[in-house]
Structure 1
Amino acid sequence: MLVLENNNVTTEQVKEFDKKYNLHSWSVQGTLNPMVIEKAEGIYFWDSEGKKYFDMSSQLVNINVGHGNKKIIEAIKKQADKMAFMGPGYAIDVRSMLAKKVIEKAPDNMGKVFFTLGGSDSNENAIKIAKMFTGRNKIFSRYRSYHGASYGAANLTGEPRRYTCEPGISGFVKFFDPYIYRAGIEFESEEDASKYYVDKLREQLIYEGAENVAAIFLETVTGSNGVIIPPKGYLKGVREICDEFGILMVCDEVMAGWGRTGKWFACENFGVKPDIITFAKGITCGYIPFGGVIVDKKIAEYFDNNMLMCGLTYNAHPMGCAAGIATLEVYEEENLIENSRKMGKVLGELLEDIKEKHPSVGDVRYIGLFSAVELVKDKNTREALVPYGKDPDKIMSRVIGMLKEKGFSTYHHENNIMIAPPLIIKEDELREAMSIFDRVMCFVDEYIKRTI
C-alpha cells in the first residue's frame, strides 16, 4: 500500500526509513518497532492496516481539540499565504490578538505573555524571568515533576529524566510534593496532609535561605508522573509561603492548562493566583509547536524599565499565533471547557468502578479529563506492580501493548497509566473506550495471581 503516493513510498519503507534515520525520544533505538500511522480524525487515528484506535492520551496530552480540526488548519493555511514568518521585534495582527486573548483567559492578576515554542522553552524563560525580577539565584521544584528536557528545564525536573543533565546547575533545590497515596502516613484529612507538606516546605526554605529563593515551580496538577492532584489547601499554603518570603509562585500548566482540568487554567480549581504561568500543548493542540510564559502585572511593569533578557528566533511565530487564536475560538464555540467538566464526571465514575472491581488497581486520580490509574500488586500494602525505575518483565509495556491491540492508545510512566482523551469526546465514546480498559485490567489481575 502506498502511504505517500507522490513519493511512491510503501508502508514497509516508511518503517524502514524511520528506524534507519530517526532517533526516537526516550527509547533504546534497537528495540523499536514503530507503528505506521496513516490518518487521524477526531478522537481516533488509523494505522497503515486500517485499524482504528481511540486516542486516550490525546497523544502527549496535547490534542485537546482532537485531530483534523478544520478551523485550525484553515487558519494556518491562511497565515502561511499572508505571512509565514516575521521577526519577533515587529507587531503583527495575529501576534497582538493572541496575546490579548491569552491575558483575557488567564487569572485577572496577569499582565503580559512571552510566547515560546513549547513547554521546555516556556520553563527555561520562566526561570530567567524569575531570577531577573527578584535578583535571587535559587529555584525550588518538586521531585515528582517533569518540566522539560532542555538543560534548565531538566534541572527543574525532579524525576529520573533529569539525570543526564547532572551534576547540573547550582541553585536548583528539590522538595517532595504531597503524594498522599504513597506517603506512608495516615493523615486525618486532606487539609492535615497539606499542612504537613507546607510546613516541611517552609522549613526547607528557611534552611536554604529564603531570601535567596527566586521562585517555587510546581505543576499545578502533576502530569506524567501520575496526575497527582494537590490536596485541599496545599496550593493556598504554598501561595502564602511565597507571599511571606517574597518568592514567586510559578505554575507549570503545560499539560493541565487550556481546559484539561475543566477550567481554562488548573489553578482556578484551587483558588490561587500564581505570579507566573507556563503553558504549551493545549494552546495550539500540536497543530503548530507553541507555548508561552504569562507574567503577573507587577512583573510586566518591571520590564517596562528593565531589559527582558529572553529571546527566541521564533518567539511569537505568526503561524503559531494564528493557530492559537483559532484554537481558543474552537474551545469556546464547541464548549470544550464545559465538556471537559461534564465528561470528567463520567470518567471519574467509570474509574471508581474499575478501582472497585480490579485487585490490580490501587488508586485512580482524576480532575476534568486528566486522569491516571496506578497499578499495584497488593491493595492493602500498596506495593507497586513494578519496582520504581525497574520493570524486568516489561509488564507495564505489555499492558500498554494489550490496550493498543484492542484499540485503546495511551502511555504509562512507572506504575501509572495515563487516561486523558481529547476534550471533544462524547459519553458513548468514553464508555466504549473505558470498557476496553476494563477488560485489559482483567489480564493484570490474572498476572498478579500467577506471579504472587
Structure 2
Amino acid sequence: MTQPDAAEGARAYSLDRGSVFHSWSAQRSLSPLVIAGGEGSTVWDYDGNRYLDMSSQLVYTNLGHQHPAVIEAIKRQADRLVTVAPAHANLARGEAAERILARAGSIFSKVFFTNGGADANENAIRLARLSTGRDKVLSTYRSYHGNTGSAIAATGDWRRVPNEYARSHVHFFGPFLYRSEFWSDSVEQECERALHHLERVIQAEGPASIAAILLETVPGTAGVIVPPPGYLPGVRALADKYGIVLILDEVMAGFGRTGECFAFQGFDVVPDLITFAKGVNSGYVPAGGVVLSEAIASAFDDRVFPGGLTYSGHPLAMAAIVATIDAMEHEGVVEHARMLGDEFIGPGLAALQEQHRLIGEVRGLGVFWALDLVVDRETREPVSPTIVGRLKDELMQRGVLPFTADNRIHVVPPCTMSPADVARCLAMLDEAFTAVEAE
C-alpha cells in the first residue's frame, strides 16, 4: 500500500498539469484528483484520503483494484514472455480466446483481439462491411462507441459532431420511455414504436445498402438505458429480415456489469458480432476484441482479412483476461453483481428517489445504474451542470468517487463491492442530496 506522502502527491500533480494533455477537456481549468493507490473497492490519494470507487474508474474495474490473482498472472507472464507479434501463436492468447468463447455461446467460433473498445467496434464494422459487401452502419443517437474514426462516427452523442470523418453512418432513436421520442405511455408502446421507427429507417435508407446495426446492449455513458422486453429480439428479427449484421457493443456492459457474463444473455437475443473490452480483464492491461460468429469468421477462411494491430493479443493483457475470467468463475463474481443489484443497489436507490426531489428516475441492473436528475419531476427538465458538480463535490468530501455524465450520477461500483460498502455509498448519496437540496 502506498504510504501518505504529500510531497510526492504535489509532484505528481505538477507533472500532470505541466506535461499531460487530457481527453475530453479544456486543459486550463483542470484539477485532477491524484490517485496514489487502490485495493478492492477503494482508492486513495497521497495525503491518505480514501474514496469508495463508485465509478469503477471508467466503468471497467469489475474485479476491483489490484486483484491479487490478476496481478500475479501478469507477473508470471512477464517472466515468461512479455511480448510477441500477433502473427505468432501464443498460449495466453489462445487460452483467453477459449475462455471468452466458452461464455459467449455456441454460434461463436473466433476472437479477434484489439487494444480497447473503440478499435473493437472499428473492426466489427469492418467485418460487417466486408462480409456483406454493404456500407452503411445504423446506430442510435443515445450511444457511445469509442473515439476512433468509424467508432466516433457511429457514436450518437455530442462527441460525434466535431469528429465526423468516416463515411456511411446513419442514426436513429432507440427506446427510452422516460424521455420518449415516440410519445409513448407504456413500455410495450415504446418498444413497438421504436421498432417501427427502426424498420422505417432501414427501408428509407435502402436495406441492400446497410451492413450493420450497431447497438450497446445496455447504453452506458448515455444513461444506463435498459432496453424494454422484446426490443433486442425485435432488432434481431429486423436484421434477419433484411440481411443485416447485428453487432452488440458489450464494452461497458459485459463481463459481470449487468449481472450476466455478457449483457445480451439477459435479453433473449444473440448477435452476429460481440465487441468487448474494459471488464474482460478489469482494465489492468489495455485489451478489447470482437467475438465472431462462425458464419462471419468463415467468410475469411480463404480471403484475407485486411485488418490488424501491432499489439493484438498482447501476452500481458491476455494473461490478465485469463486470470480475470477464472477469478469471476471461482469467486461467483457475476452472481454477486446480480445480487448487489437486486437486493441492495436497486432497492437502495429507489428509497433515495422517494426521499429526494432531484431524482427523477432510477434505472439499471446488476452494478450498472443511473440516477436521472431533474429540476421538476412533472416536466422532467434536467438539472444544470452546476447541480451535478455540487453533488460530485459533496460526494468526494464524504469519501465517494462518483461517475457523472450530463444530468446524471451513475452508480457503477466494482462487481466485487461488499454490501457494507454499497450501504456506505448509498448513505453518502443521501447526505449529498440532502446538502444540495437544502441550498
**Are 1:417 and 2:409 matched, yes or no?**
yes
The partner residue of 1:61 within 46, 59, 62 is 59
**One-letter amino acid matched to 2:346:** G
- In structure 2, C-alpha distance between the alignment counterparts of 1:204 and 1:341, rounded to whole Å: 35
The partner residue of 1:430 within 422, 425, 434 is 422
**Are 1:14 and 2:6 matched, yes or no?**
no
- In structure 1, C-alpha distance between the alignment counterparts of 2:20 and 2:194, rounded to whole Å: 43
Residues 54-79 of structure 1, C-alpha deviations (whole Å, 9 max, x = no match) = 00011111000011111111111111
- In structure 2, C-alpha distance between the alignment counterparts of 1:186 and 1:201, rounded to whole Å: 16
Aligned match of 1:321: 318
TM-score (norm 2): 0.97
Deviation at 1:395, TM superposition (A): 2.5
**One-letter amino acid matched to 2:16:** D
Deviation at 1:206, TM superposition (A): 0.5
- In structure 2, C-alpha distance between the alignment counterparts of 1:189 and 1:11, rounded to whole Å: 52
Aligned match of 2:198: 201
Aligned match of 2:369: 371
Deviation at 1:3, TM superposition (A): 7.6
CA RMSD, 1 decimal? 1.6
Q: Is the 8 A contact 1:144 1:159 kept in 2?
A: yes
Q: How does 1:76-115 map to 2 (within 5 A)?
A: 76-115=74-113
Aligned match of 1:182: 179
Deviation at 1:444, TM superposition (A): 3.4
Q: How does 1:303-322 map to 2 (within 5 A)?
A: 303-322=300-319
**One-letter amino acid matched to 1:325:** V
Aligned match of 2:378: 380
Equivalenced residue count is: 437
Q: Is the 8 A contact 1:3 1:10 kept in 2?
A: no
Q: How does 1:438-449 map to 2 (within 5 A)?
A: 438-447=430-439
Aligned match of 1:406: 398
TM-score (norm 1): 0.94
Q: How does 1:255-270 map to 2 (within 5 A)?
A: 255-270=252-267
Aligned match of 1:223: 220
The partner residue of 1:272 within 253, 269, 273 is 269
Deviation at 1:107, TM superposition (A): 2.5
Aligned match of 1:450: none
- In structure 2, C-alpha distance between the alignment counterparts of 1:119 and 1:9, rounded to whole Å: 36
**Are 1:152 and 2:144 matched, yes or no?**
no
Q: Is the 8 A contact 2:176 2:190 kept in 1?
A: no
SS at match of 2:28: helix
**One-letter amino acid matched to 2:399:** G
After superposing on structure 2, the runs of 4+ consecutive aligned residues of structure 1 that deviate more than 6 Å are 2-5
- Per the alignment, do residues 113 and 424 of structure 1 end up closer, same or farther by CA in structure 2, a change over 3 Å counting? same
**Are 1:164 and 2:162 matched, yes or no?**
yes
Residues 152-177 of structure 1, C-alpha deviations (whole Å, 9 max, x = no match) = 110011101112212x2221000011
Q: Is the 8 A contact 1:3 1:11 kept in 2?
A: no
Residues 348-370 of structure 1, C-alpha deviations (whole Å, 9 max, x = no match) = 00011111111110001111110
SS at match of 1:37: coil
Aligned match of 1:232: 229
- In structure 2, C-alpha distance between the alignment counterparts of 1:3 and 1:20, rounded to whole Å: 24
Deviation at 1:184, TM superposition (A): 5.9
Q: Percent identity?
A: 40
Q: Is the 8 A contact 2:390 2:436 kept in 1?
A: no
Residues 288-325 of structure 1, C-alpha deviations (whole Å, 9 max, x = no match) = 00011001110111111221111000011111111100
The partner residue of 1:214 within 208, 211, 218 is 211
**One-letter amino acid matched to 1:78:** R
Which range moved further: 175-184 or 343-352?
A: 175-184
SS at match of 1:29: coil
**One-letter amino acid matched to 2:147:** A
- In structure 2, C-alpha distance between the alignment counterparts of 1:89 and 1:103, rounded to whole Å: 20
Residues 242-299 of structure 1, C-alpha deviations (whole Å, 9 max, x = no match) = 0000001100000000010011100011010000000000111111000110011101
- In structure 1, C-alpha distance between the alignment counterparts of 2:297 and 2:200, rounded to whole Å: 31
Q: Is the 8 A contact 1:138 1:173 kept in 2?
A: yes
Aligned match of 1:135: 133
Q: Is the 8 A contact 1:3 1:9 kept in 2?
A: no
Residues 203-247 of structure 1, C-alpha deviations (whole Å, 9 max, x = no match) = 111010011100000100000111001111110110000000000
Query: Runs of 5+ in structure 2 lacking a partner?
Result: none
Deviation at 1:94, TM superposition (A): 0.8
Aligned match of 2:283: 286
**Are 1:332 and 2:324 matched, yes or no?**
no
